[in-house]
Amino acid sequence: MNARRLLPGSPNPLGATWDGNGVNFALFSANAQRVELCLFDSRGQREIERVVLPEYTDQIWHGYLQDVRPGQLYGYRVWGPYDPNAGHRFNPHKLLLDPYAKALSGELVWTDAHFGFRVGGPRQDLVADRRDNARFMPKCRVLDTAFTWGDDRRPTVPWSRTIVYEAHVRGLTMTHPGVPPAYRGSFLGLAQPGVIGHLKSLGVTSIELLPIQAMVDERHLVEKGLRNYWGYNTIGFFAADPRFYVTSAHRDFKSMVQRLHEAGIEVILDVVYNHTAEGNHLGPTLSFRGIDNASYYILRPGNPRWYENYSGCGNTLNLTHPRVLQMVMDSLRYWAEEMRVDGFRFDLAAALARGRNGFDSGGSSFLDAVRQDPVLSRVKLISEPWDLGGDGYRLGRFPPGWSEWNGRYRDTVRRFWSGEGGMIGDLASRLTGSADLFSWGGRRPSASLNFVTCHDGFTLRDLVTYQRKRNEANGEGNADGTDANYSWNCGHDGESPYPEITALRQRQARNLIATLLLSQGVPMILAGDELGRTQNGNNNAYCQDNAIGWVDWGNVDEDMLAFFRILIKLRRENPVFRRARFLEGKRLPNLVLKDIIWITAEGREMTQADWTLPYARSLGFVLGGGVAGIDEPKGQEEAGDTFLVLMNAYHESVPYVLPPATLGQAWEVVFDTFETQAGLPSGTWAAGITYALRPRSLAVLRSVSSGRGFARDIQEGYGA
């Protein structure tokens, strides 16, 4: 070794950093005894050199190589005790990935050599394995992150105007006719004009991408010819997975972000910082476990051989450790600053906020760090507010600044439209932004991220087609996936030859999506629902990187697509459906009209007794127009029309007396989901007469004012 070639380098920044002259390598390990940097040839097949990092500063091993350039492939071997009962699993026979690697080369090839212990041995994980796994491991790549962004600007969509579109990079692009075959399934495929044009014409503002960070396909899936399609099995938090790029990780991803930003669309990443792909004590040694197991993972007090498993995937990252927390924060800032993403959705976020005494929304080191961070506190933060711990369901308990996936919204809306009685009180809370959950600490309706479908569960079409899941293709005996679907098959399970059932299913789908897009809060749409996409009853397509999991662009329900566009346009143009503040049932400023009035079928304002009727399956309400709110962040007042929304989940018609008015006052039907061509106006109705709200349908009517105006009519009619 040329002494002049290897210099001490710096403990900061962590990872492999190219500075124009050479590369600084820095790796955290509090308990290691020696760290070896392994350099590989351009194909990653042959180890060409092994260098002992010469310095150890503040628990960081580091060194600087003057002649290393971008593109160099590398990995680590870390020496230390192999003593699982003490929490240590060092094994220098295993090549390890750098936790800070910004790009990977190659794929993991499964072999017993990846395990730190002798697989199948009588003492399980207690005896170290001496086989070398390097030839079967992906390698880290030194990266030059230079990119010409031009005049790229973040769209910075206000929360009150945000409409999220949840999509998978491969799933959205694999069959799209406008994506060249070489780009299908990739970031560059998502950047194609045809895909972005669809998003623009639909009217969504933000695309939320299922995990794209470097991931591992579990061995049991590979052996069955499947793969972890969804990607919730991360092994590298700074690198994009090679399956998503064509030229290079950072250039392809940045080009995609640049094109989406040009179209005014935000990019939100679904990220998995609650666990890694290394599994439990019988899992492989790929990175963190072999670098410093006792630091990176939450181990059981008194028996550190075992892992705390709040994720359900075998392990939980230890964000109470300052260096592990630093890694997560560095990763988030890297994606927000270097890659210019606009927000994050955190998988099983309750696990991230666990301290020594369980979930802690007020003193979690992670939540506190994010809240004060000058970069991360300004991007969109969305939590999945639960994990698999006994106290893990924490909906409504994340701090100000966060939006939360509202699983209660999903379940309530599904149960109402499936015909369950006694739901109207809870439904009213969900429709109005779930103030019962979120109206504390200055939080707004945007704290509730509303959805009726997401990647995990039935698609919209399947929700009205299947009573029970059909997950046989996953190879788990249909035992995987939830049974709590709150779905209704409209009288026939699976695809039906009966026109009346098909018509009812289409109406039910319109009812569900109309409810979503007319609710206060932030709506999230599942990619493909607008096209009538089906997974053939599979409600857990996590391993289906095929036609089951992909959006089918060759079989589009044009009527459903048109209805989605109508609803999104209606929401965008009418601020009463997206108020920045919670509705209170009080008079609007300078008007006698209330912001919301709940009405019975008789046309009167609801009383407490009406809310508690166990058989109630219909609900009506008036959203008061006038000044409907303040536009964020400009502070301009937004004027809006007054709307009447009528919802009937009963199997018979419910006649609704329209709100009272003086002569000349009328209601214009915006749409009625019972109509075959949903969304087409179907007439104007005089105030005070009866509107027959037909079975299992939803109608939206707009006030057509004249004379003294609708505000005074409401005052006289309801004694406001």
Q: What is the pLDDT of residues 320-364, one digit of tens each?
A: 999 999 999 999 999 999 999 999 999 999 999 987 777 877 778
550 to 186, 222, 234, 473, 512: CA distances (angstroms): 13, 19, 21, 14, 22
* Dist. CA 345–CA 271, nearest whole Å: 6
The residue type at 49 = E
Phi and psi at residue 474, in whole multiples of 5°?
A: -80, -10
Write out the two tokens for 39. 């350099």
Q: Hunting for tokens 């059932």 — which residue is that?
A: 501
* Dist. CA 316–CA 319, nearest whole Å: 9
| β pairing state of 343-346 and 15-18 | unpaired
Write out the two tokens for 453. 């479908």
* Dist. CA 630–CA 442, nearest whole Å: 16
Kindly give, in sequence order, each residue whose CB lies less than 8 Å from that of residue 497, ignoring residues fewer than 6 positions away.
none
**Residue 49 CA, distance from chain mean position:** 42
* Dist. CA 112–CA 92, nearest whole Å: 16
In our burial notation (b when 16+ CB lie closer than 10 A, e otherwise), range 158-177 reads: ebbbbbbbbbbbbbbbbbbe
**pLDDT under 70 in the chain at which residues?**
1-4, 588-592, 627-637, 661-664, 676-682, 705-720
Where in the chain are all domains bearing CATH 2.60.40.10? 6-142
Where in the chain are all domains bearing CATH 2.60.40.1180? 583-704
DSSP-H helix ranges across 612-658: none
Q: Hunting for tokens 């304002």 — which residue is that?
A: 605
The pLDDT of residue 630 is 55
Q: Which of 585, 589, 590 is nearest to 718 (CA)?
A: 585
SS3 56: strand
Catalytic one of 125, 218, 266, 384: 384
| Residue 36 is among the residues annotated as catalytic for this protein | no
The residue type at 623 = L
- End-to-end CA separation in angstroms for the chain: 87
Q: What is the pTM of this model?
A: 0.95
Q: 451 near 413, Cβ under 8 Å? A: no
* Dist. CA 21–CA 15, nearest whole Å: 16
Fold of 6-142: Immunoglobulin-like (2.60.40)
Query: Rg of the chain over CA atoms, in angstroms?
Result: 28
The pLDDT of residue 75 is 98
* Dist. CA 162–CA 343, nearest whole Å: 12
How many other C-beta atoms can be found within 10 angstroms of the C-beta atom of residue 274?
Answer: 26
* Dist. CA 508–CA 459, nearest whole Å: 13
Q: 523 near 451, Cβ under 8 Å? A: yes
297 to 89, 93, 581: CA distances (angstroms): 12, 21, 40
| Residue 384 is among the residues annotated as catalytic for this protein | yes
User: Per DSSP, what are the bridge partners of residue 701?
Assistant: 644, 669
* Dist. CA 624–CA 605, nearest whole Å: 14
Backbone dihedral region of 240: left (phi > 0), alpha (psi from -120 to 50 degrees) or beta? beta
In our burial notation (b when 16+ CB lie closer than 10 A, e otherwise), range 476-485 reads: eebeebeeeb
Report CA torsion sign: 92, 136, 124, 98: positive
* Dist. CA 252–CA 116, nearest whole Å: 35
* Dist. CA 606–CA 428, nearest whole Å: 12
Q: 318 near 300, Cβ under 8 Å? A: no
How many other C-beta atoms can be found within 10 angstroms of the C-beta atom of residue 104?
Answer: 25
Write out the two tokens for 259. 């094109």
450 to 204, 236, 688: CA distances (angstroms): 14, 30, 33
Where in the chain are all domains bearing CATH 3.20.20.80? 205-274+318-575
Domain 583-704: CATH superfamily is Golgi alpha-mannosidase II (2.60.40.1180)
The torsion of the CA quartet 42, 43, 47, 52, rounded to 10 degrees, works out to 50
* Dist. CA 370–CA 332, nearest whole Å: 10
**Residue 17 CA, distance from chain mean position:** 31
Q: 103 near 143, Cβ under 8 Å? A: yes
In our burial notation (b when 16+ CB lie closer than 10 A, e otherwise), range 588-623 reads: beebbbbbbbbbbbebebbeeebeeeeebbbbbbbb
Write out the two tokens for 250. 């950072």
DSSP-H helix ranges across 69-184: 169-173
Instruction: Kindly tell me the number of DSSP H helices and DSSP E strands found in the chain.
Output: 16, 34
Catalytic one of 347, 404, 530, 672: 347
Q: Hunting for tokens 């069959």 — which residue is that?
A: 175
Q: Which CATH class is domain 205-274+318-575?
A: alpha beta
